[in-house]
Each structure stands twice: as C-alpha cells, then as structure tokens.
Structure 1
C-alpha cells in the first residue's frame, strides 16, 4: 500500500448526521428526488458489451442531448474524460499546413464563434501551454478531495476494491471458486462480503466493517442516509451521482449493459445498487477519517462551483474551433471525389453482370471491393449491413442456446439451428455424443490444470511435454487453441454443418427443452424482399450473387469480437450469409417474391462467403448445393476472389510493415500473424474510419478511399416512400457513428475512454479486461489499435455522412426520428447530401437550409 495513504490517519470521528442537519438542515432530501437524480445520472452512462460480443459503442451516448461543444466542457468538468485532442496536436497540424486559415475561418462560421481569424491565430501560438490544464470547477468525490489535499490515494483504493467485488459477482465462469452470495442483489452481496474484508482498515480507514454493517439494507435507504450526511445541495445530486459512478466507469457501463434491453426501472435499480456501494466508501471516510474542515471545504466546492468555468472556457472554445477546422481539412478530399463523379453515373448500366458481390459496409470491405471490381467489368459490388437483414439467433450444433447475429440495437426475431447435412438420426446422435464427450473431457482436464491442488505439480511433472507445442505456437506455425465453432468435431464433419432454415420444433440436444427453430415461409419471403430492397437490388440480377460476410482470425486477443462484424453482434457474418443465401435460393421464396412483382431469374444463384479481414481470404460455403449448371461460374468466381485477395493484401501490407514480399510470401507472413499469440496488431480493424456514404456504387466506383469509408448502396429512385432511407439513417448510419465515436474517444483520451496498453491486459470474469492486475474495468480500444508506435493510425474526427438523395427526403427522416435529429443538430456527426441533379455536395445547416460545399480558399 502506498506510504502516503498509510500515513493519512484519522483526525477525529465525525457525527455526520448532526453536522448535516446543522449546516444543510433546510435542504431536506427525499427518496423520490434522489431517485430522479439517480435516473438522470444513469442515462449518462453508455453500456459496455462483454468480450464475446464486443461491439463499438458511442461512449458519449448519454450526452447526445447536448451539443458537442457543451458535452466537451461537461465531460471535462465531471472527470468523464477529454473530448478534444491536446492543444499541441492542433498547433502541429497548423504548422504542417494540414489545417489552413480557410479551414479555421469556415470553422468559426460553423461553430457560431465571435472570435476572428486573427484572434485564433494569436491564441494558437500559446495553446501548447494549456495541454495539462484542468477545469478548476471540476466535480470531486470526497475521496478525490482528500487525495488532492492530503496526497492520499483513497480514490484508487476504492476503485480497486469495488472492481474486485464486481469481478467476483459478475464472473461468468472464469473463476474456479464462485462468490457464495451471487444469488443476492449486488448491494446486499457486497455488504456480506465487506463484513469480512479488512483491506480498507489495513489501509488506514478505521471501523470500516462496522460502518458498512450499520448502513440500511436497502440501497435507496442507504443512499438517502449517505446524501443526508454529506449535505450536498439537492440541485447538484444528479452530478454527484454521475461523478460517483464515473469513479468506476467501466463497471457502471457493464451494469448498464446488463439491463440495456430491460425496462428503465431495472437499469436504474442495477446502477442504484452500484452507486450505493461507491457512496458507502465516501460515507466511511466521512464517519471515521475526514476532518470537519475537509468536509466543509468539499461541500463548499459543490455549493459554490459554477457550472461553467470562464477561466478555461476560452481555451476549450479555441480547441473546439480547431477540432472543427481539422475535420473540415479531412473532408475536402472526400468532397472533391464525390463532386467530380459524373451525375449520369448514378444510373446502373443496362448490361447484365456475371457477378454481383454484396459486402458489409465495414470500411475494410472497401479495399476488397475495389480489388474485386478490378478483375472484370462484369463484376458489380454492393454495400449493405453485414447481417443482410436477417436478425437471427444462431444456435451452434449441440448447444442449448445461440448468439444474436444482428446489430445490438435490434433483437433476434428468429432462431436458426445448425445440423449435419445428409445425416440420419442415428449418425447425428453419434456426432453430438462425441462432441459432448470431448468437450466434457476438455473441461475436466482444464479444471484439473487450474485447480489449486494440482496446478503446481502439474506444471512440474508435465510442463516439458508441452515444449514443442509452445514453440510452434510462439512461431505462429500452429494455433494455440481450437476455434470454438469446431471444437469437439471431426474434420470430416465440419464442412457438412449448416443452418436449417425451415420451421422445425424439437430438442436441440438430448434431454434439452423443446424449442421452435427456423423461419416460416411467409417470414422468409418478407425477409428476402426487405433485404433485396435494402440493397437496392430489385432487378438486373447477375448469374451469380455472392453474399459475403466478414470475420477476423486472431488468437490470444480479448478484443477479437471487436474485429468481427458489428452488424452481426460482434460475431462473424458467416451464419447470416448462409441463411440469407439459402432463403434467396428457396424456390418457394422466389415464387412468393414473383407474386409481389420481384422476379429473381432462374439462372441466378446466391452463394454465401466470408471475408477474413486479417488474411483477406474469402471462404465459400454450401458449394455442394450449387447446381452443376453454375460450375463454370463458380470456377470463375474462385479465380476472381483469389486475384482480389492478392491485391487487397498487397494494399494493406505497408500498414502491417510487410511491404516488399511477393504474393506467396506475403500470404504466409499475414497468416503467421493471425496465429501469433504475441501479435498486438494482427490487423487495423476499423481504424481510420472517417465517412459514411449512402449512394449508388457508381457514385464512388472510380475512387480509392483507403479503407476509411463505410459504403452503403442506396438509390433513392427505388425508394418512393423513403422507407429505405429511414432505415439507413436510423440503423447503419447510427451504428457507423457509434463506431466512429468509439475510435474518436479512444484516441483523444485513451486513459478514460480506451483500454490502455494491450500487452498488460488481463481478462476478468470473461466479461472484460483490466489493465494490469487491478483498477476499473476498461472500456474502449487499446492504444495499439490506434497507434503504430510512431504515429496515429486513426485520425480523431467525427463521422462525415454523405447521402445521395433530395433534401426533402433526408429532412423527413430527421423530422420523424428525434434521436437521429439529435445526432445531427448537436453536431455529433457532419450531415451532407449529394444532389443528384446538379452533382454538388451540400452541408446540412437546418431544415430547408443546406450550404454548398466549396474549397473555401484552401491551397491546392
């Protein structure tokens, strides 16, 4: 324990109730008022998905009702984190000529600032001195205040203690010995555990166990008593609750996720209990350690501190202006490309294609789409959400339940189970029994290795026998662990496993519950129709259509799910692609579509594929179901994919430090990285994302976007009622904004919004990671996913959205959806449109007011 902390001894015991009544007796606290404050604080917490389903989340989700500029000040004041880059970053960008005077002038106009360009340039010279400035009106917990005054480390100790107990309570099977009070609510379980925990007392906090045991058993009653003792002004209780939760921001986010899809009352109750735990530690400090002078000074801070600090407002405003200028500089090359495309190219060419390939809108697909299109003029690629419009729960062979294969904003509507093709009942039973037996034996062996009795003797006796495997794993020649999807299965069986789309009712495993799986015919027809309309693919079908999901191949990577498909809930898109292809090849489905006026030619076949974004290989599935008439088409597809993979790998190689290899050696080097357990940068994921474009592919066909743009196919001519545009702006665009803001936040303040050094990560409870062996649960992205060791690989800019559609259609969506309008009006993204008539780009200012995008006098 830190010496300063241990040396900080109690001055006197403090009768909190008496002093609270004497000082703030006129400000009586009632439970309804406290509950309202807690609810307001809870809405500011963004959820954190578990590692197995890790998806990008907008960390500013609870602040979207404020403007971006207001949120910057609020976040810094609350200690939530910095939302702007250090001042020296902008000064360097200006010195290098990336930010130009014209950008600053335009930023002044956009932000509505009263500053002049001359004033900004003068201020810019002194900005680096403000890099470490913190708002003097920053909100503090009592522990924060004591640490600042006395040099103690109570805040750190409290965070470590709460994190320790949350890890034990929320553990999902990682620990061999479970907490005995997991059946109790969080606060009650913690009180039971705290009765035995001497750590705070050993650290210098007297009578901690007695203080906690004397608190009320119900969390709201405990919070009410604690706030009464604290004597904080009722008008600041929501900020006080928020600040308390931010001291354990990671676990607060996890608790918010646990009830993300539950009722608001359940969400409030869960965070209320965590808040009660955190407040209890400050209450213990009040009761036994803090002096009257300390408490009065802390209370005065909350009572008198202004909500906006004029001393730091100027420095914050100039940084906000320069952030906007930096984003404008980033936008110019994009707008030049979009405006230079001919308006006539927005119409699809009449000739029939040999191949149409539908990829996820993920920025990594942009590189591969270009490489594939270069193989032949008879190839057309399209961009669509990677779950292909099929919100399913996919139940793997021999499992009780499955994983959601759809964006986290949606709930799965259908269950799809796996089965073994052409297997009779007896063979299927034998396959399942072998898999269960192998998995049980594997669990027993793992339990033996990890048990407290055998772990040391096991290593001493058997350790050397693993030397060969350890060496081959370290060299990237073998994979350290088997992929979970094929664990316990014979290699001859793997290729026979596939989804069952027809409606069935039965047991998924022996003695399991009877469940209904598959999709009814009427639902299959409706899903197919909506998917094709969403792709803007309602006619002109090619002979072969590839539905290509994506996934990533890495090992020893807690954030592996973050490299898979966010549209598939942090899983690979294989299941969705296979289900979608099977449905679209279904004769009954095609007949149903034809009855609605959407005819898929008989000589069109849908093929499912998976793009491995680490190796740039594309795997094809269910090839045995393809009619022989498509044999030559399949051979041609494979040839095109092989060539496209080589081009894509060659383009990505410099970013991985692998330039100079020929095609064969480059594939070996990249494959080796995917199996290397020590590799901290197997791929760059979505780093570098800057824009989202919804337009016909012909608008962007001739341009290289360097894997930085989400590309969604959209033709407003096929969307008379605007339903497709509404879906795009409320789902894929919002998800893209979540991804963008997570990368943005992890870049501007990785300590609070990111997860630090990847080499120090330790998985806790299988739900998240700690950096090192303690501290709060970390959120966001590791620094190695954003920085290559020399420079940033992700530019911290808000998402630029460009939609090719009439202004009235876009404005109608904003009018109908308040949450989308909030993102736009509060400047969490930049909304622009491409006018299909005059071929110019326009920036959204307000309804019926779009400003033409120009160069604004920038030097070329």
Structure 2
C-alpha cells in the first residue's frame, strides 16, 4: 500500500488546453487496458476482473472501480464486523493488518480507532461518476440511459453473433463504430421512444471512430487528465460487451496484431453522449449540469483523503485473510514428511492438474495405493496446442489464455490409412452438414411452427427421459479413444518433453507406470460448462494434451534425447494418459492398447486404485453439496452431471485460497479441503531459478486470475458476476444476459459461489507459498514487473518456505522486506 500515500497533487493546476490527438489516443488506450477480457462461453476461462488495475495499489483500485462502475471490491463492513464478533478475526490480526499499512493520515492510529472507523457506513455501489446520458435522464424524467443500453445491447448481439442468429448483420465486416452507425441510421426505435431526430443526429456524426472520439472530446470540453477516467466510466456502462471486445483485442495482440476493437466500441458509446449533449443544447439545464459533472470528473481522485474509506476496507480485508493464513501456516509447519527413500521405487506416479479439485483426488489415491506418488502441473502438460477434432475445419486453443498455441494438431482415426481417413471424413462432414440444416430448420422463424407440429412429440419424449436422467449426454469437449493426433517434429518433441519433466521436477526415480491425468467436467444444459473444464487448457478438457504428452514421453527418440540432457527414463517406464471427470470423479484411461502386456498387472492395480479413490472423492464432495454418503446420496451426486435442471452440477473452484509450489512431502499429510492449487517444485533441481520464474509468471498468475474472479463474483455479483443462473439467456453464442434484456453479463453466476443462504466461496485474495530461498524469489520479482505488482500492490500474498526452514513461513511485505510469519 505504499503508493496510496504518494505526494498529493490536488493543488496542481489542471491543464485546460484542448487535448492533442496523441493525448486522446493515449487516454483511450489507458481506459481500454483497464477492461478485463471476457472469454466466450465455448471456452470460458476465469479472468482477474481487475486485470487492468493491478498497476495500482489495492485501495486505489477500489476507489477507481467505485468511480467507473459504482461497485465494490471488498465485502461490506458488516461482513467484517461479524467476523470480528465471532472471534474469527482477532485483535492480533487487526494489529498485524494495521502494521502493514503505510503510516500516515489515512491509517488509523490504533485497533480501537480502526474499529470505530469500521462502524461508519461505506458503500460505493451506485456512486459512479456521471455521464451525459445519466444527467439527461435525470433532467428529462425519461430514462435515456436505459434506451441507449437497450439499443447498444441489441446491436452488439447482432454484430458479435457467433452463429446463433438466423439472420446475420449485413455490417459485421465493418468496424464496430461504422457497423453501429449504419444500423443506427435505419433504427427507428429511439424515435418511437421519444428521441426525435435521432437518425438525423447519427447522420451528422463523423464516419470514422477516431474522428468521432476527437469531436466528442472537444464538445465535452474535458481536460486531458480527466479523459482516462471518463472513458473508463463509459466502457463500464457497456457491461460484458466491453469485456468481449477486449477479448477480441487480446486474441489479436497474441498474434502480433494491434487490437482496436474496444476503442471502436468506446466510440459507439461516445456517440450517444455527443448526441445527448447536442440534443439538450436548447435547454441550458443540461449544459449547466454537465459543467458541474465535468468539475467532479476533474477533481475526483485529487484529494488523497478520499482514499481513507477504501484504506479502512482494505485493512479489514487484510485482517480477515491474515486470520486464515495463521491457521494455514500452522498446518504447513506441522505437515512436512521425510522424502521417500531413493532406493524404493513408487508403484505408480500420477501427475494431475494443479486445479484445486485435483487435491482431493490426489489425497484419496495416495490413501488407497500405498507408496504412490502424485504430482501437480498445469493441466495442459506443457503441450500448447491448437487441437482440431476429426471432422472439423477449425480448432480450439488447448493452452493457458496467456499463450498463443504454436502447434496445430489434427485428430485422425487410429491405425487407418489415408484413403480410409478421407472416406470417414467425408461421411462425418456430410452428417455434420445434415445436422446443421436440421438445427437451422428448428430455429427458423416460420418453420418452427411446422417443426413443433411434426416432431414435437418426439422431443417431448426426449425431455421426459432427460428429466429422469435416462439419456447419457456426450461429455463436453472430450477426445475419442479410437482417435489420435500426429506427433510434432522430433526436435519439437524433445523440447516439449524436457520442459514438461523439468517443469514438474520429475527428472529421476521414475515408476514403471506414470499417469498423466487431465481433467474436465460433465454437465448438460449448462452455458458455463466450459468454465468447469480445465482453465490451463483454455476452457476445454485436458485429455488431448495428456494423450499427446504421454505419446511424446513414450517415444524412443525422445528418450534418447532426454538421456543426453541428463534425464534418463528407464526402459520399463510407460506413460499413460487419463481424464478426471470432476463432476463424477471417474478417471478414464486412454490408449490402453498402447500399454505393453508386461504392464498389465500395473495397469489393473492402477485402475482399481483409481476407482477406489473416485469413491472416496465422491463421498467428500457429496458433503460439500449437502448430500450424504449413502448409496442414494451418491447416486444423486452422479445424476447431477446429467440433470438439465441442475444449477450446481459441482462447485468448480469455489473455495480456492492458496497456491503451493513445493515438493509433495511438504503437503502430503494435509487435508487442504480442495482449496489449494498444488504445483510440484524442487528447488534443488533448479539452481538457476528458471523453473521458479516459469511457475511465478504463469501458473501462479493464472491461479490468481481464478481466485480473483471467484472473489469478485462473491463480493459484488451485480458488477462482476452474471447473476441468477435460472434467468440466463445465451446471447449471440458469446455470453449470457440475465432475463429478457440488458447487457452481456460477465463473471460467475451466483449459484457458483453461494449455496443460496451463504457464501461457499469465502472472499480471500490468493495466498501463494513457494518452497524456495527468498533471494531466488526476489530475483524473479526483479525481472517480472507484472508479478511484482501483484505482490506489492496487494493482489496476492506471497510467502516463502525456505529450504531447511523447519516449516516456518517467511512473508514478503509490500516494501520488499521478508519477515517471519508466526
């Protein structure tokens, strides 16, 4: 929190000169960077909704979110007061949080003063900075803002449609602003709603987005330093459409492009502001009101004393998190177990995704198969691929959202020649074409009546079977065991294998059988199905990656290259791929036909252990879902994956609170309750800290994204979540709206974080623990500015478990110091 007490600039004289073209462009870019990308439902991945604000300390970001969105990024003060009253947060926790707040006028002098401050009401929701449309609506008594929102939402749904609509927008090939302008020139709805002359006003607007923005800035007479704040406010009014446009920019930038979609969308929203301002020109009240609003935009944030309320909230949040960290640290201190005897070979090694749901299954597997070693690694297993399923022309990115997949892998039938593959491909494409025609007939505006009359009874039967769980739905995004992909070139295979094994610190003492278990989730009638799949695989199940990794590591040439690099895999070690279904906790093995007969007993023993571990995991998960472990309760648990009325097929990553990169010995005896991301890491094998840097800059950051999305959806679901799942309607194949209208929603449904009466996901920022020397961690932070901002600005808590430290944690402070954490 150091930066929240920077020298005050409220006495500085604002620059009243008209902003230059370069200044306006910089302000647009700054506002656009503050918008977090929103991935489409087909590959929905968790994203830090404050991604564009991590360059700011947490309290400053809270103030900025309040100004731009009228939202909060901490729980209510009543939430903290109740935690203190329960004794969950102690005087010591509050004192510790105060001590880690920079001294100055914003910080209470004592715990007693802090508690007094906590009594004062502070709710930033609904207090966003003004817009011209909002002022116009207030003065005219007619909700112009709602009219603009409705028109923009309907236009955006058509412009960004992914094939859901029967009639595509004729202007989709144009930029967003040009497309909106063409449609608005024909749209009579604003005029029917009382906005006379709307189309003529649109016709008078510049044809280019950049020119429109410049003209609007001039008319609004905003000084340069207020532009980013005002632009951010306008983007916030667009809801999830701004996030979708930022996602499109994100994908363009990953490929080396310039982006620009969100800037176009900002121009659309500015056009409404400009038209509203000109419309009110004859009435001096709007001009006068805008003058006062402009002063508020200029002055907002100049007085650091306004930060005090947000600083109080952050102190309370830090104390709430410290209370949990003390219990967590005590667990870790008591948990360390001796490393396995180097002379003893594990019966099996099983690598799982670091996903918190894997922690439960790993514990169960270790319990039923004595001596088994489980490991954690990002679920794409170091295979950053664009996976093209058989019969498809386009693929899906099966890698973390931070990456652009460099490899494209096409699926094809196993053991089939070129002619047979071509024949099967032709048949499959013909079937897909017939299916697409059938879907189009069902959705057609006129044909729908004939559809219901002719085949409605057939679908009624299907609905009844679905309702009783008698129809088995194809799992989301899975590969097929009779299919495979070609292997990458030999040199690429070797690099992939080297990075994978070193990345999860598995470079010696290999078992005879090594399982690589990706994960995915089975559910039906669930727009957010991909959000339950593997985030490391881009919102898809991880079986394609696991299967490719197993084939690469079983390759004889790869093993020869690995041996030359000091990684000797025994000749009798066999890698096998699997998929953990996190909704049913069944673990399916793939490519069993590739496992030699010499390992038949090993495979049978593994499959038996996996079945027993799945049963233990289901019993634990049933309790979290309010079910008992009786046969009836467990049947109900399994039925959730096929129940099309089920709003909570599973809890996903709700409860995620910690990230641990350490040898498994550091956590093996712990029951972490499915709350921790577990990444294998052995400092002794990484003296130069290269793997540590990869972990801190990729998996740890992704874990923080997930944690902060669940956090934000719990703290203020109206602003950062998607509301009530039972009211969702899928829009444009991109996202959901809540009910029959409104903008695209972002974030998680309320049912993903609450059981209906209380929060299941307790809002805590991520606690990251790295089993490495503090000096090595500091070297990484010095090189990785983005990660350093997350730590020093309070977006995650960083702890070290130094080698030989007897289990005691070291906490990194915001000023760069390390201190012992008792």
Answer yes or no: is 1:523 the counterpart of 2:492: yes
Answer yes or no: is 1:835 the counterpart of 2:802: yes
Answer yes or no: is 1:549 the counterpart of 2:518: yes
State whether residues 475 and 522 of structure 2, in contact with CA within 8 Å, keep that contact through their aligned partners in structure 1.
Answer: no
Tell me which of 617, 621, 624 is aligned to 2:590: 621
Equivalent-residue separation in structure 2 for 1:422 and 1:132 (angstroms): 63
The secondary structure found in structure 2 opposite 1:374 is helix
1:336 corresponding residue in structure 2: 330
2:114 corresponding residue in structure 1: 120
The secondary structure found in structure 1 opposite 2:394 is coil
State whether residues 577 and 591 of structure 2, in contact with CA within 8 Å, keep that contact through their aligned partners in structure 1.
Answer: yes
2:424 corresponding residue in structure 1: 431
1:645–1:142: structure 2 CA closer, same or farther, 3 Å change rule?
A: same
1:508 corresponding residue in structure 2: none
State whether residues 406 and 568 of structure 1, in contact with CA within 8 Å, keep that contact through their aligned partners in structure 2.
Answer: yes
2:485 corresponding residue in structure 1: 499
1:38 corresponding residue in structure 2: 28
1:443–1:481: structure 2 CA closer, same or farther, 3 Å change rule?
A: farther
State whether residues 400 and 536 of structure 2, in contact with CA within 8 Å, keep that contact through their aligned partners in structure 1.
Answer: yes
Displacement of 1:134 in angstroms is: 5.8
2:11 corresponding residue in structure 1: none
How is 1:528-607 mapped onto 2 (pairs within 5 angstroms)? 528-607=497-576
How is 1:203-602 mapped onto 2 (pairs within 5 angstroms)? 203-263=193-253, 269-289=260-280, 291-304=283-296, 305-307=299-301, 313-342=307-336, 345=338, 349-479=342-472, 494-501=480-487, 519-602=488-571
1:26–1:370: structure 2 CA closer, same or farther, 3 Å change rule?
A: closer
Displacement of 1:122 in angstroms is: 2.5
Map Cα deviations across residues 102-143 of structure 1 (whole Å, 9 max, x no partner).
11111101123343111122333x24x4347765xx421111
Equivalent-residue separation in structure 1 for 2:491 and 2:621 (angstroms): 43
The secondary structure found in structure 2 opposite 1:275 is helix
State whether residues 346 and 699 of structure 1, in contact with CA within 8 Å, keep that contact through their aligned partners in structure 2.
Answer: no
Tell me which of 722, 726, 731 is aligned to 2:698: 731
Equivalent-residue separation in structure 1 for 2:722 and 2:226 (angstroms): 30
Displacement of 1:485 in angstroms is: 5.5
State whether residues 793 and 814 of structure 2, in contact with CA within 8 Å, keep that contact through their aligned partners in structure 1.
Answer: no
State whether residues 396 and 485 of structure 1, in contact with CA within 8 Å, keep that contact through their aligned partners in structure 2.
Answer: no
Displacement of 1:301 in angstroms is: 2.4
Displacement of 1:256 in angstroms is: 1.1
Answer yes or no: is 1:47 the counterpart of 2:37: yes
State whether residues 476 and 522 of structure 2, in contact with CA within 8 Å, keep that contact through their aligned partners in structure 1.
Answer: no
1:805 corresponding residue in structure 2: 772
Equivalent-residue separation in structure 1 for 2:664 and 2:741 (angstroms): 49
1:785 corresponding residue in structure 2: 752
Map Cα deviations across residues 827-847 of structure 1 (whole Å, 9 max, x no partner).
110000012222210100267
1:491 corresponding residue in structure 2: none
State whether residues 205 and 289 of structure 1, in contact with CA within 8 Å, keep that contact through their aligned partners in structure 2.
Answer: no
Equivalent-residue separation in structure 1 for 2:815 and 2:681 (angstroms): 22
Equivalent-residue separation in structure 2 for 1:268 and 1:224 (angstroms): 19
The secondary structure found in structure 1 opposite 2:250 is coil
Equivalent-residue separation in structure 2 for 1:191 and 1:50 (angstroms): 25
State whether residues 480 and 677 of structure 1, in contact with CA within 8 Å, keep that contact through their aligned partners in structure 2.
Answer: no
Tell me which of 658, 663, 675 is aligned to 2:627: 658
Map Cα deviations across residues 262-314 of structure 1 (whole Å, 9 max, x no partner).
34996563222111111111222112246322222222222243315678644
TM-score by length of 2: 0.94
How is 1:159-198 mapped onto 2 (pairs within 5 angstroms)? 159-198=149-188
Equivalent-residue separation in structure 2 for 1:757 and 1:107 (angstroms): 35
Provide the aligned length of Structure 1 versus Structure 2. Answer: 800
Equivalent-residue separation in structure 2 for 1:734 and 1:484 (angstroms): 25
1:507 corresponding residue in structure 2: none
2:88 corresponding residue in structure 1: 98
Tell me which of 636, 639, 657 is aligned to 1:690: 657
Equivalent-residue separation in structure 2 for 1:142 and 1:575 (angstroms): 51
State whether residues 476 and 529 of structure 2, in contact with CA within 8 Å, keep that contact through their aligned partners in structure 1.
Answer: no
Equivalent-residue separation in structure 1 for 2:454 and 2:406 (angstroms): 51
Displacement of 1:25 in angstroms is: 13
1:158 corresponding residue in structure 2: 148
Displacement of 1:667 in angstroms is: 4.6
Answer yes or no: is 1:56 the counterpart of 2:25: no
1:481–1:605: structure 2 CA closer, same or farther, 3 Å change rule?
A: closer
State whether residues 608 and 622 of structure 1, in contact with CA within 8 Å, keep that contact through their aligned partners in structure 2.
Answer: yes
The secondary structure found in structure 1 opposite 2:516 is strand
Displacement of 1:615 in angstroms is: 0.3
TM-score by length of 1: 0.90
Map Cα deviations across residues 316-370 of structure 1 (whole Å, 9 max, x no partner).
332221111111112122100111234x635765411010000000000000000
State whether residues 38 and 268 of structure 1, in contact with CA within 8 Å, keep that contact through their aligned partners in structure 2.
Answer: no
Answer yes or no: is 1:844 the counterpart of 2:812: yes
Tell me which of 709, 717, 741 is aligned to 2:684: 717
Equivalent-residue separation in structure 1 for 2:447 and 2:303 (angstroms): 60
Map Cα deviations across residues 762-785 of structure 1 (whole Å, 9 max, x no partner).
111111111112211111100000
Displacement of 1:479 in angstroms is: 4.0
The secondary structure found in structure 2 opposite 1:802 is strand
The secondary structure found in structure 2 opposite 1:373 is helix
Displacement of 1:232 in angstroms is: 2.0
Equivalent-residue separation in structure 1 for 2:156 and 2:627 (angstroms): 42
Equivalent-residue separation in structure 1 for 2:472 and 2:340 (angstroms): 47
Displacement of 1:536 in angstroms is: 0.6
Displacement of 1:548 in angstroms is: 0.3
1:499–1:822: structure 2 CA closer, same or farther, 3 Å change rule?
A: same
State whether residues 57 and 738 of structure 1, in contact with CA within 8 Å, keep that contact through their aligned partners in structure 2.
Answer: yes
Equivalent-residue separation in structure 2 for 1:85 and 1:846 (angstroms): 22
Map Cα deviations across residues 411-431 of structure 1 (whole Å, 9 max, x no partner).
112121211112233332332
The secondary structure found in structure 2 opposite 1:843 is strand
The secondary structure found in structure 1 opposite 2:269 is helix
State whether residues 248 and 259 of structure 2, in contact with CA within 8 Å, keep that contact through their aligned partners in structure 1.
Answer: no
